[in-house]
């Protein structure tokens, strides 16, 4: 048990200089640059989908990919803005229009074709390749966002985690559309629900640890 004046004294004693956060738009831009680098590296190592040139002439495909990219960008901005305590929660609505367009273009390709049986026998389908790309995109992006938004665990963990999960989902879906011949958005969304749940769980764990760390000072 500690009295409030004693607590204040202990907090003051531990008050080392801190570096202020950059504006949320700048931080979102940094994160998006990191995401672009990841996707670019994947494109170099994996190669773009063979029919990309032809697909880019199809309005439905272009609409879907632009909408998912826009959803990712807007959700990233919203994540960094709503993570701050004094910003309006209406910022959460920012990616919704783009999300609505993106969801309306979702296909079902990846829900089938887990295993293909052909002349060469049974082999793993394109889905496994999809999953690998998804993991290579989602994991580093989620970790980067988790580190950049770790303070939100004390403030709005669920809201920020949800927004962060949407951001990572949208970017991963964009990457998949560029790299794979499957319309994988349903699977990406389903899997990224898991990413969002992980985000929420880690955020609450980190929040408690941060809290006890501060309290023990």
Interior/surface letters 159-189, b for 16+ CB within 10 angstroms, e for the rest: bbbbbbbbbbbbbbbbbbbbbbbbbbbbbbb
Question: Which residue among 64, 101, 154, 191 contacts another protein (CB under 8 A)?
Answer: 154
Q: In the chain, where do the E strands start and end?
A: 115-118, 121-124
Out of 108, 114, 193, 211, the only residue in the binding site for another protein (CB under 8 A) is 211
Residue numbers 30-89 binding another protein by CB under 8 A: 83-86
Nearer to another protein, 19 or 57 (CB): 19
Local structure of residue 105 (DSSP, 8 states): T
Q: How many of the other CB atoms lie within 10 Å of CB of 18?
A: 6
Q: Is residue 156 close enough to count as binding another protein by CB under 8 A?
A: yes
Q: Which of 30, 52, 144, 155 binds another protein (CB under 8 A)?
A: 155
- Quick check: 186 and 106 in contact, CB under 8 A? yes
Q: How many residues bind another protein (CB under 8 A)?
A: 32
Residue of the chain from 17, 50, 53, 121 that contacts another protein (CB under 8 A)? 17
Residues forming contacts to another protein in the complex (CB under 8 A) are 1-5, 7-9, 11-21, 23, 83-86, 151, 154-156, 210-211, 214-215
């Amino acid at each position: 048990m500690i009295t409030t004046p004693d607590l204040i004294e202990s907090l003051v004693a531990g008050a080392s200089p801190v570096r202020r956060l950059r504006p949320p738009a700048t931080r979102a831009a940094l994160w998006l640059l990191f995401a672009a680098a990841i996707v670019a590296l994947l494109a170099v190592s994996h190669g773009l989908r063979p029919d990309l040139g032809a697909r880019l002439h199809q309005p439905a495909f272009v609409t879907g990919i632009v909408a998912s990219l826009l959803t990712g960008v807007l959700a990233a901005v919203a994540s960094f803005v709503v993570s701050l305590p004094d910003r309006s929660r209406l910022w959460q609505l920012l990616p919704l229009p783009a999300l609505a367009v993106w969801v309306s273009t979702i296909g079902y390709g990846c829900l089938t074709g887990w295993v293909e049986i052909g002349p060469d026998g049974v082999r793993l389908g394109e889905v496994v390749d999809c999953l690998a790309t998804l993991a290579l995109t989602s994991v580093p992006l989620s970790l980067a966002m988790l580190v950049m938004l770790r303070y939100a665990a004390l403030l709005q963990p669920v809201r920020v985690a949800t927004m962060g999960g949407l951001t990572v989902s949208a970017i991963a879906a964009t990457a998949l559309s560029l790299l794979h011949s499957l319309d994988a958005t349903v699977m990406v969304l389903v899997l990224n629900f898991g990413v969002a749940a992980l985000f929420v769980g880690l955020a609450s764990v980190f929040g408690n640890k941060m809290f006890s760390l501060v309290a023990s000072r």
